[in-house]
Amino acid sequence: MFLKPCSDLSVGDRFGRWVVVGEPFKVKKGYKKVPVKCDCGITRDVYINNLQKGRTTSCGSCNAIQLGDIFGRLTVIELFAEQGRRKARVRCDCGTEKIVVAYALRSGDTRSCGCLRKEVTSQVKTTHGMTDSRLYCIWSGMIKRCTNPKEPAFERYGAKGIRVCDEWRESFEAFQEWAKSAGYRDDLTIDRIDGRKSYYPENCRFTTRTVQNQNRRKQRNNQSGFIGVHLDKNSGRYRAQASINYRVINLGFYDTSIEAARVRDNFVKRHYEAPMLNFPEEGMKV
């Protein structure tokens, strides 16, 4: 195949859907580019070598969307380029017309003029009328931190295998019914009794924030193997700790981690209801 030298390229030359609209210019390492315009209106600078060898014949977007294409409730009625982006004028089934980015149609991000979201939201509110309630926020937040990797808390929940039981994940009403039977109030938060296990009725309760903090799992740097017990490097003994109303209470130093853990357990059993214990088999004996 005979290739035109760069100097022979002229404005108006056609390569597929590309049309040359400017003069060639040099870029890095001696390569040359030329400004071209696609039949859909998109303009770009492309390498002359790719243009002449047929490696590029269009902007790539215009082949995916055509007039009359339907995406959800939207029908494409006009295609054009604006500020280097391919856009489309669409008409929704409800009669509304709007301009959208073509990529949003292909990816499925845009499926209506906005009426679809309004209808879905209206249906949800009609179902239980609790969308704006605090309990609904607790339910949705619980699911997000266990399923959505983009959530900041995901690494402490979903990434560690914490899940929401199918009954709750699939139905807010089921969670709402359990919450009522579990004594939910607006001043309480949901808490897992065993922080190592998932969200399900037998492992959850509503407690104050103070009790929830007390129920946290061992910290990563805890070398004792027990909740509320830390090895003091200076003395070589084990320190027992607990917290009340966000204040850390030191319970003394002990020769063994087991002794310190029992002291900590006895303390929290006197001050909290159903605390997380190092020795749960001992129940609520003090």
**138 neighbors 146 (Cβ within 8 angstroms):** no
CA angle 106, 107, 110 (to 5 degrees): 85
Query: Measured in whole angstroms, how far is the alpha carbon of residue 209 from the centre of its chain?
Result: 25
CA atoms within 13 A of residue 93's CA, in its CB half-sphere: 8
pLDDT of residue 108: 66
* Beta bridge mates, 270: none
**Structure tokens of 190?**
């949901």
- Separation of alpha carbons 207 and 275, rounded Å: 10
pLDDT of residue 186: 87
The mean predicted confidence, pLDDT, of the chain is 80
Q: What is the pLDDT of residues 149-207, one digit of tens each?
A: 888 888 888 888 889 998 898 888 889 999 999 899 888 889 887 777 889 998 898 88
- Separation of alpha carbons 83 and 67, rounded Å: 21
- Separation of alpha carbons 92 and 225, rounded Å: 61
Q: How large is the angle between the packed helices 134-147 and 172-181, nearest 10 degrees?
A: 120
Q: Where along the chain do its domains lie? A: 6-52, 70-116, 134-207, 222-282
Give just the sign of the alpha carbon dihedral 134, 218, 197, 146.
positive
Give which of 231, 228, 254 is closest to 241, Cα–Cα: 228
Candidate ranges 52-56, 61-65, 80-84, 269-273; pick with highest mean pLDDT: 52-56
Residue 5 has pLDDT above 80, yes or no: no
**Superfamily assignment of 222-282 in CATH?**
AP2/ERF domain (3.30.730.10)
- Separation of alpha carbons 246 and 225, rounded Å: 23
Q: What is the pLDDT of residues 17-62, one digit of tens each?
A: 889 999 988 887 778 899 998 877 778 889 888 888 888 887 776 6
